[in-house]
Amino acid sequence: MVKIITTLEELKSISKQWHELATQFNSPLLQYEWFASCAEALLHSDELRIVVTHSNGRINGVAPLVLTGNDGPEQLEILGARVLGEPVAFLYDSEASLQDLTAAILDMRKPLFVKNLRHDSPEITHLRRQHKGKYFVRTGASSPFISFAGTWSDFLANMSSNDRNHLRRKKQSMDQKGKVTFEICNPDRSCVKDTLDDFIRVEAAGWKGQQRTALAFDQPLRCFFDTYAREANSRGYLRFCLLRVDDKLIAGQIAVLYANRFWMLKVGYDEEWAAYSPGVLLTHEAIRHACQEGLEGFEFLGRDEQWIHRWTRQVHRYVTFVGYPFSYSGVGRFAFDASKSIFRKSAKAAGYRQIRTSIGKLASRVFQHIAPRYVAGPEIEDAIRICRQLDVKGWGSTICPWDGPNDTPKAIASSYTKALQAIAAAKLDCYLSIKVPSLKYDFGLLKGLLEVASQHNARVHFDSLAPDTASRSFALLDKAASIYRNLGCTLPSRWRRSATDAETAVALGVAVRVVKGQWADPAQPDIDWRRHYLDLIDILAGRVSMVAVASHDVELAKDSLVKLTQSRTPCELEQLFGLPLRVREVAKPLGVSLRIYVPYGHAYVPYALVEIKKRPVILSWIVRDLLLNDNRLRFSCSEGCENMRLAEWSRRVIDMRGDSMGKVWPAMSALRSTARYWRSGQA
């Protein structure tokens, strides 16, 4: 009997039997917790296609698959493998069960892409034997491992003297900087989140942060590790490896201890300490710990890299199985992959690196051209100039310094103080927004800022960042409210916790700005944020001194402001500088005042290209930013009727809510639906 699981509820219902089946496999990467965390964090539930075979009322085979078409026509892949890149396998209790399982997979008649299967695995044998279409088995990456055979002294004796001396010198150099401590622990359940947050911060301080590949910049992957760390901790096999100098964390690892082996999942270190090789020293300590604890081995996972060769040259070899059935979807995927391969080879022959470099330079110049249009300029004087122009029109303003990646907390606090003094000197209807994580939650720095604000009775507003910063930000807000009352906070409607935070804001008596939010809730990424936005408005209506509705969604902003005006709650519409304003559609008919959020300093593009499919209007913003001059772009701040009329005409032409695009976009959607229908194999 075969069952295809397509929902998280069905997946949870087989957790117990999954655990029983997984006991035969000595890998944490095949446990239920691993794939359940992947399903919750890395994909939409409608992509699940977990194949389960039953015999005599019990599960005897599981293939944790998903049907995804992120890079082309749909194909079956292992759940989480594309993002995590770790070794994969199927679960089964016998050779006969595996044969039934692979037959069930191939009967789905979908293209199959299974990466990082062991080169000698039974899965490869059965897939080759049973596949009735075109297939390829390609050599893949290798992952290093250590098998311990003796004591720690024996292991060290097998290392080269150069490597041993190198590690000793690095450790001695680090000892001169302070007290060096190594810790390998499975923290209390209440401390798992804080320990993981510490690791994420130190990882982002290294080269991964510079290249924006760290967990801090990848919300789905961060959500996965949040969920998996919690589950692995509850089952007792989570391990954090931490290296500190004078209580300052400078390197960390996320690992698991399973099947008498140590499995290293993630490693990161602070780039300031790179000269002392903190990641290498921490890995060496983890290997020593595993050996002295009597474990059988150490699994590096990931790819085979040169820096690992000081400890081992042993590797697991993997292959990738790619299968194309004789079906519409199989032929379509084969044509897509073949054309992509031909293009790559042609590009390589024509100088692929030069082409890629040229494209990269062009993209960089485009974004350098676009990004400054969303900030007033590099200095506070630029922001004040824009705010004066807004004041002439009767609009309020909010200014916020956008700090750069290398700015220190003290430098950021200084820029905040300078901004407050400039606001007071200009005597504008303006307040300051700050990002307390940039201050490293230093209450001393914040207290000095509030003392300056109190001299001018200027509002200091706490901006919202990633979900993991919310608890500490509100704790600091609570502390700040005890010494200064003119404060504000931001509530993202994409977070489930915002309802509780709204009650906190009411209790503290602070002003509130309601936004959609850039980051999804890790525990509930598919929350209906529009409905939750209005729920937050209901909680705040009639209970706070001011509510700013910060949204460029016309209907949502209008519904929110109607609720607030009916409850006689002081409110305003807040818009981001540089984006199309919704004054006439929303603010004017309701007699609501307008406020513009004006950032200055480090520039970046505030729209995400990946959102274009969901919000086609973003495409018009990109076209506008590239083609229109400064007066047209910043029509909200232009002086003179002619510029205003020209800019208003430009906005109407390029806004995708207009009639012309209203006719074009349904046609584009129809073509896309036709393509999707063909890919599905039903044509």
CB 519 within 8 A of CB 494: yes
Mean of pLDDT values over 189-209: 84
Confidence band for 213, pLDDT divided at 50, 70 and 90 = confident
pLDDT recorded at residue 296 = 93
Lowest mean pLDDT among 104-108, 358-362, 374-378: 358-362
Output the pLDDT for position 653: 40
- In this predicted structure, what is the pLDDT of residue 558? 92
Q: How confident is the model at residue 208 (pLDDT cuts 50, 70, 90)?
A: confident
Is the pLDDT score of 357 beyond 90?
A: no
pLDDT band at 595 (very low <50, low <70, confident <90, very high): very high
Q: Does 355 have pLDDT greater than 70?
A: no
Model pLDDT, residue 604? 53
What residues have CB less than 8 Å from 415, skipping those under 6 apart? 380, 401, 403, 407, 601
Residue 301 zone, left/alpha/beta (φ > 0; ψ -120 to 50; rest): left
Q: Give 351's pLDDT tier (boundaries 50, 70, 90).
A: low
pLDDT at 376 over 60: yes
How many Cα atoms are found within 13 Å in the side-chain-facing hemisphere of 673? 6
Least confident of 89-98, 224-233, 577-586, 594-603: 577-586
- Residue 325: both structure tokens together: 């059935």
Out of 79-88, 543-552, 607-616, 630-639, pick the least confident: 630-639
pLDDT of 587: 85
pLDDT at 289 over 60: yes
The band of 332, judged by pLDDT with boundaries at 50, 70 and 90, is: confident
Q: How far apart are CA 667 and CA 683, in angstroms?
A: 20
Residue 379: band (very low, low, confident or very high) from pLDDT cuts 50, 70, 90: confident
The one-letter code for the residue type at 379 is E
The confidence score (pLDDT) of residue 616 equals: 52
Mean local confidence (pLDDT), 76-88: 88
One-letter amino acid at 400 equals C
Range 249-261 average pLDDT: 93
Q: How far is CA 140 from the centre of its chain?
A: 27
pLDDT at 492: 95
Give 346's pLDDT tier (boundaries 50, 70, 90). Answer: low
Cβ–Cβ < 8 Å for 225, 215: yes
Ramachandran category for residue 246: left, alpha or beta (phi over 0 → left; psi -120 to 50 → alpha)? left
pLDDT, mean over the chain? 82
DSSP annotation of 580: P
Query: What whole-number percentage of the chain has pLDDT above 90?
Result: 47
Does 593 score more than 90 pLDDT?
yes
Least confident span in 208-222, 284-298, 354-368, 526-540: 354-368
Give pLDDT, residue 365: 58
- pLDDT, average across residues 455-467: 91
Contact of 115 with 320, CB cutoff 8 Å: yes
pLDDT band at 384 (very low <50, low <70, confident <90, very high): very high
| CA-to-CA separations, 309 to 144, 163, 207, 282, 305, in angstroms, rounded | 9, 10, 21, 15, 7
Using alpha carbons, select from 63, 57, 55, 87 the residue that is nearest to residue 11.
63
pLDDT band at 645 (very low <50, low <70, confident <90, very high): very low
Residue 609 has pLDDT above 60, yes or no: no
pLDDT at residue 658 tops 60: no
pLDDT at 133 over 50: yes
